[in-house]
Amino acid sequence: MADTATSIRATPRGAVTLTVVLLGFLALPMSMSGAGVAVPRIGSDLDASGPAAQWVVTAYFLTASSFMLVAGSLGDAIGRRRIYRAGAIAYTLGCVGAALAPNIAVLLAARVLTGLGAAGVMAGGGAILGATFTGAARARAFAAMGTISGLGLALGPSLSGWLVDGLGWRLGFGAFVLPGLILIAGTLLMHETRAETTPRIDVAGAAAFIAGLAALMVAVTQGSSLGWTSPAVLLLLACVALLLTAFVVIERRAANPILNLALLRRRGFMGWLLAAITMSAGFGGVLNFLPSYLQDPVGLTAANAGLVLMLPTLPMMIMPAVGGWLVSKGTSPVLVITAALLAIAGGNALLATLHPATTPLDLAWPLVLLGAGVGLASGIIDAQAMNEVSEKQVGMAAGMLNTVRGTSNALVLGLFGSALITILTGKIGSAELAGQVATGNLPNTADAEFLAWQLTDTWRIVLIALAILCVVAAIATNALVRRPRHR
């Protein structure tokens, strides 16, 4: 039997499906980006700093990105709505656990559960849209998804900042219980879709991928405190190489691989994946670590630090639709994505002018440019990448896209934080103090001003390096996506 989604296009139920999925892509990015604002307060209340405090944000991204491929394939096999609903339930329970967590260990466990739920909601939601709409309707649906996701990312810090200042960091997590309940209820009105044939789940491949990514994230976050040449970190990196090699071997031999590596041989598809990686990497570190810098040493409240992160909001709301419109009117997607990635690079380079006495006005232009680049890219990446796969592969493609995006976010968080702490450690000679300073808790001593400027110099080094990498990625993406597509 053909995919059941073909019968619900342009129907009232299709509109309900779109609404529910978009709500998920609003709430989840808000809870992703908002957690960074709460890190200094959480670190102070639960006596956690450095890598432990970073994991409040990283655990969510790591779990979500690790399980998105699994969620996408499970959705193809047992039903995308079912996976979406299970994800919404796990997400809601995770938010409750985070709000009530008595210590950092319980909080991190709750964030893992929240990320697990997010994997189901995001992979399931993307697959549902891909199966429900085709052609121009699909492009509009994914453009709307990009707009809403960008809005959620932009609003998350300000909402969480307001909650943290006014009601405490626990409400910053608990506030997302209500959207989770609405998502659960909304699935009752959605139509179920699944692949034409029921695929066999690649358990071995999923286990190798999840274990490899987890080992990589632990190595990245511990490298700054233990030392990159320490036996523990080197052992973890060796495990990463072994597990990811095993994953590739398993996927090549599997009858129904969880990640169809044949898709990666298509230059166009690879190009759009690289664009998704660059978009996530170019903005993820700034979005999650800048609020800590703005609170200490700059001295803003959590609410005001969140408001500064509203600066990219308008371009992130407008530019996805602009990107989709430009492509629909005949503008080359190659030109659009290249311009978007270069804008992200430029925003990072301009942001390197920040300093302890910086003002929101000083940050306006770089953050607006970053938001414009991210919005323009998010408006076309999914639709263009989906055009590279067949109808029966939309679940896998959506899972891959979201996995790449989520993995990039998780890795950039770990690498960004580790880079800050590693460079800062070299400057001040103490990994423990560097972890405290990098997460927005400068000691109230005579050395505070010195530490503030050392942190600022470290930020500048990381931002310039990131801008250079984005330029290189823009050039590579241009070369890949300009090639003729092959089906």
Each residue's pLDDT tens digit, 141-192 = 877 887 787 677 767 777 777 777 777 888 888 889 999 999 999 888 887 8
Each residue's pLDDT tens digit, 249-302 = 998 887 777 777 777 777 888 888 999 999 988 888 887 788 888 888 888 887
Q: How many CB atoms lie within 10 A of CB 424?
A: 25
Contacts of 430 (CB under 8 A, 6+ apart): none
Amino acid (1-letter code) at residue 98:
A
- DSSP class of residue 188? G
Indicate the burial class of 365 (C-beta count within 10 angstroms; 0-12, 13-18, 19 or more): middle
Each residue's pLDDT tens digit, 106-143 = 998 999 999 999 989 988 888 888 777 777 777 788 77
Taking domain 4-201+256-481, whether its CATH number is 3.50.50.60 is answered by: no
Specify whether the CB–CB gap between 438 and 455 falls below 8 A: yes
Each residue's pLDDT tens digit, 206-224 = 888 888 888 888 888 777 7
Distance CA 183, CA 20 (A): 6
Rounded to 5°, angle at Cα 383 from 379 and 388: 145
Contacts of 101 (CB under 8 A, 6+ apart): 107, 110, 170
Each residue's pLDDT tens digit, 11-58 = 556 778 888 889 988 888 888 767 777 777 787 778 766 667 777 877
Contacts of 216 (CB under 8 A, 6+ apart): 236, 237, 240, 411
Characterize 125-151 residue by residue with b for buried, 16 or more Cβ atoms within 10 angstroms of its Cβ, and e for exposed: bbbbbbbbbbeeebbbbbbbbbbbbbb
Q: How many CB atoms lie within 10 A of CB 399?
A: 30
User: 444-453 — which CB contacts under 8 Å span 24+ positions?
Assistant: 448/297, 449/356, 451/297, 452/297, 452/356, 453/356
As a whole number of angstroms, the longest Cα–Cα distance in the chain is: 73
| Residue carrying the six token digits 């604002």 | 37
Return the SS3 of 127: helix
Query: pTM here?
Result: 0.74
**Length of the chain as a residue count:** 487
Distance CA 153, CA 148 (A): 9
Distance CA 427, CA 230 (A): 20
